[in-house]
Amino acid sequence: MKLYTTNFSPNCRRVEAVLHHLGLYEEVDVQRLNLMAGEHQQDAVRAANPNVKVPTLVAGDLNLWEANPIMIYLCDRAGAEEFCPSDLKTRFEILRWMSWEVQHYNRALGEILWETFAKSMFGGGPADQNKVDAGLENFHRFAAVLEGQLAGRDFVLGDTLTVADFAVGSHSALAMVPGSQVPLDDYPTIKAWCLRLESIPSWGATAPDTRAEAAE
């Protein structure tokens, strides 16, 4: 297998964390690309992913792009039944939370994090506070859902870590940067869960070098 990835991307982080968690990391040819230098524009990446984005996984004649399908594929390939159960009820619960985080929770987080510090890293100028405020409004709406889900649970689906945690928690380190304006102190259960994730070896192994280093 070959993985095209980059540093400081929450979406790449979640895929690399799954590889670590499943013990597959050393079996994969990891191609770490510098997006600022345009290394993702190479023909090999374009052939595997017409969006010319990372993460992209090449497994034999199978080209996979988008982080969540890659994660599910790796879990099924490894037979990681506890981490990614295959019974229909649990599998569709995992898929539901994966869809939810992309469409709602992490989308709101991404809007806030982009404006508050990632934007300046890419030469985009100062934050647009109107956009930050719009992101915060959505964040509060969906963080309330996650706060309720985590009440009385260590992880998203219960007392056991699953691939859903790596998906929903993909922005965990970045959300805890004080300058990000993400109001995690308003959601103590989410904050405790983020800290719990960061203490998991496979997740911690993929943390940004500093928590002020940002995204895709």
Q: Tell me which amino acid residue 216 is.
A: E
Name the segment(s) of the chain with CATH classification 3.40.30.10. 2-78
59-63, 64-68, 102-106, 121-125: segment of lowest average pLDDT: 121-125
Name the segment(s) of the chain with CATH classification 1.20.1050.10. 88-204
As given in the structure block, the two tokens for residue 7 are 């540093």
CB distance 206 to 213 below 8 Å: no
pTM of the model: 0.93
50-59, 116-125, 138-147, 205-214: segment of lowest average pLDDT: 205-214
> Which architecture does CATH list for 88-204?
Up-down Bundle (1.20)
If DSSP codes are grouped into helix, strand and coil, which group holds residue 87? Answer: coil
pLDDT per position as a tens digit, 105-128: 999 999 999 998 778 777 788 889
If DSSP codes are grouped into helix, strand and coil, which group holds residue 211? Answer: coil
> Which architecture does CATH list for 2-78?
3-Layer(aba) Sandwich (3.40)
CA-CA distance, 133 to 136, in Å (whole number)?
A: 5
